[in-house]
Chains A and B, each alone.
Chain A
Amino acid sequence: MSPPRYGRAFWIALPIGAALMAFGAVGLIGDSGVGAGAEVGGWLVGADVAHDFVLAPLACLVGAAVARALPRWCRAPVQAALLTSAVLIIVVFPAVRGFGRDQVPDNPSVQPLDYTTATLTALAVVWAAAGVWLVVRLATAVRERRRPPTRATPGGPPTSPH
């Protein structure tokens, strides 16, 4: 990796960005609506740590395991479906666990569905799409293998564009 170079854009952006960050930090400390400013700091650090030392390593491990375990021909659709499934589960998990609904037991309009069924339905759509993709890929591969080589000229030296 070559060392990064910093041009004029960086030195213009730095004071602007620093001012915006300072405005946010001062507001965070001074706003009585926040209530617990120090706790926000803790949650910010926690958000970073949870990503960098839990979620990201987990994603790398799963990715590496899938890449090793699966044969090449089905890897792309399966990896794509896994990635999409993970994102959908992140989006819906509070509803699946009933987080939020448990705070307002008298309000059935919050998280009104059976979210286990709903999530499985959404995942079924994703995996069905991945299945179609896989079939199309295999069909294309088979057709290309059957086609006799058409090119008469073997690879020569680099051709000039002129």
Chain B
Amino acid sequence: MREQTTPRIFTSDLRDERTAALLGVALGVTFTVCFVTGVLSHLIQDPPSWFQWPSRPAGLYRVTQGVHVATGLASIPLLLAKLWVVFPKLFAWPPFTSVAHLVERLTIFPLVAGGVFELFTGLADTHLWYPWPFGFRAAHYWVAWITIGALVVHLGAKWASTRAALFARETPDAYLSDAQRRSDTHRRRESAFDRRTFLATVFAAAGAVTVFTVGQTVSPLRKLALLAPRRPDTGPQGFPVNRTAATAGVVESARSPEYRLRVDGKVRRKLVFTRDELVAMPQHEATLPISCVEGWSTTQRWRGVRVRDLLDRAGADSAAEVRVQSLQRRRAYRFSDLNHWHAHDPDTLLALEVNGEPLGVDHGYPLRLIGPNRPGVMQTKWVTRLVVR
């Protein structure tokens, strides 16, 4: 077989198999974590018939989605470093030396393109920045499958060489002459930027990204979140909103005296409530996180009417599921579904108050859904109707 050569213009001795292998292993871990947590989030938002997301533990989604975003952000330096290390191979000549090699190199394209695409679109989404014409969630989801498929092929192709690079014994120190040993130590000390320093720097950069952003979901670190698009303590009534009442076009209908909550569908008694009638009902308090898909989260004290109390009053079946509808006219998230676990959880509320104050209109006045273990987009605001199914 012919040998491949890479252009001599690339002179850095940091670009060796071992550096590539170590960064590859790190990326294999972070991409897998992102993929699993991402597919999970997708299933929760769009559940197929075989999937039922439980309402407990209350903070589970906060953790899985927090991990998804934090891991994705930390992958940025890992991916860029890895691509820098293997960059000369892009220009290797001849381009391939066997059919298997050609197939392997062709799958590098979806791997690199998909990896960069996923990290870029994910980063932009956390900023609510959408400079593209396609739907973010669907595109990010399907490209994840393409990327992970390419990663599986790459893993198979590099399995042997990665193992060899990681577990190869370096020449034991005892076999070296004193002169060699001295020159080695000398080289290590004098080499401006050796492999260890390079890898340490890349992991330190990943750590720095995490330190400066993870406070958007880990509240005790919020003061450090200098580079995060959100602060869990900043917004109307002291926490963020994704969609204001004005943007959603509900300011008038939410404040209208005509506002009613209707409970209908598969019920024995259809119910209609004014806000005052809801305030007069037994109130329940719950301390629950609101966990945004974009990676921020914050825990607040909510007070309102239990969904299951309303279902009991309406005479709904004990296995009932509920579609919660908003005053919003358009948008995919104008309603959300409660499966039987969420509908009957004692902490699933239609909240009237947060932290002892009436809900502000940006947080869903007059009434918002808040329940344990749900993505923020499924904590429907400006609730006007429960359809029992």
B104 touches A4 (CB 8 A): yes
The answer to whether the Cβ of B156 comes within 8 Å of any Cβ in the partner chain is yes
A43 with B132: in contact, given A13-B155, A158-B175, A161-B174 (CB under 8 Å)?
Answer: yes
A92 touches B159 (CB 8 A): no
A79 with B137: in contact, given A48-B113, A109-B230, A113-B226 (CB under 8 Å)?
Answer: no
A3 touches B98 (CB 8 A): yes
B153 touches A17 (CB 8 A): yes
* Residues in chain A near residue B202, CB distance under 8 A: 83
* Size of B's binding interface in residues, CB under 8 A: 109
* Residues in chain B near residue A65, CB distance under 8 A: none
The answer to whether the Cβ of A9 comes within 8 Å of any Cβ in the partner chain is yes
A103 to B144, CA, bound (A): 26
The answer to whether the Cβ of A76 comes within 8 Å of any Cβ in the partner chain is yes
Q: Which of A74-124 contact B (CB under 8 A)?
A: 75-76, 79-80, 83-84, 87-88, 90-92, 94-95, 99-101, 103-104, 106-113, 115, 118-119, 121-122
B139 touches A95 (CB 8 A): no
A44 to B110, CA, bound (A): 8
Which interface residue of A79, A118, A155 has the most chain B CB atoms within 10 A?
A155
A59 with B159: in contact, given A3-B4, A13-B153, A20-B145 (CB under 8 Å)?
Answer: no
A9 touches B137 (CB 8 A): no
B208 touches A88 (CB 8 A): yes
* Residues in chain B near residue A109, CB distance under 8 A: 230-231, 234-236, 239-241
Cβ-defined partner of A2 (8 Å) among B3, B133, B159: B3
A79 touches B153 (CB 8 A): no
A23 with B230: in contact, given A39-B132, A94-B127 (CB under 8 Å)?
Answer: no
A44 touches B131 (CB 8 A): no
A155 touches B157 (CB 8 A): no
A24 touches B236 (CB 8 A): no
Total A-B Cβ pairs within 8 A: 296
CB distance from B332 to the nearest CB of A (A): 8
**For residue A153, which residue of chain B has the nearest CB?**
B178
* Residues in chain B near residue A14, CB distance under 8 A: 103, 153, 156
C-beta contact mask, B325-357 vs A, less than 8 Å → 1, else 0?
000000000000000000000000000000000
**For residue B296, which residue of chain A has the nearest CB?**
A109
**For residue A141, which residue of chain B has the nearest CB?**
B189
B112 touches A159 (CB 8 A): no
Cβ-defined partner of B152 (8 Å) among A20, A36, A80: A20
The answer to whether the Cβ of A69 comes within 8 Å of any Cβ in the partner chain is no
A11 to B239, CA, bound (A): 52
A76 to B244, CA, bound (A): 48
A13 touches B174 (CB 8 A): no
A18 touches B192 (CB 8 A): no
B159 touches A87 (CB 8 A): no
Sort A-B residue pairs by CB-CB distance and give the 7 closest, nearest first: A13-B156, A24-B145, A20-B149, A109-B235, A33-B138, A155-B179, A21-B149
Binding site for A on B (CB under 8 A): 1-6, 10, 12, 73, 76-77, 80-81, 83-84, 87, 90, 92, 97-98, 100-101, 103-104, 107, 109-110, 112-114, 116-117, 120-121, 123-124, 127-135, 137-139, 141-157, 159-161, 172, 174-180, 182, 189-190, 192-193, 197, 200-202, 204-206, 208-209, 212-213, 226-227, 229-231, 234-236, 239-244, 246-247, 362
Could you list 11 A-B pairs, sorted by A, with CB under 8 Å? A3-B101, A6-B157, A7-B160, A11-B156, A12-B156, A28-B143, A39-B134, A40-B139, A94-B123, A122-B208, A156-B178
Binding site for B on A (CB under 8 A): 1-7, 9-14, 16-25, 27-28, 31, 33-37, 39-40, 43-45, 47-48, 50-52, 55-56, 59-60, 63, 67, 72, 75-76, 79-80, 83-84, 87-88, 90-92, 94-95, 99-101, 103-104, 106-113, 115, 118-119, 121-122, 126, 141, 151, 153-159, 161
A13-B152, A56-B83, A94-B129 are known contacts; what are 20 more A-B pairs with Cβ within 8 Å?
A1-B6, A5-B160, A10-B100, A10-B153, A16-B152, A21-B110, A24-B147, A39-B133, A43-B121, A72-B190, A72-B192, A75-B193, A76-B197, A79-B193, A84-B204, A94-B229, A100-B128, A107-B247, A110-B127, A113-B231
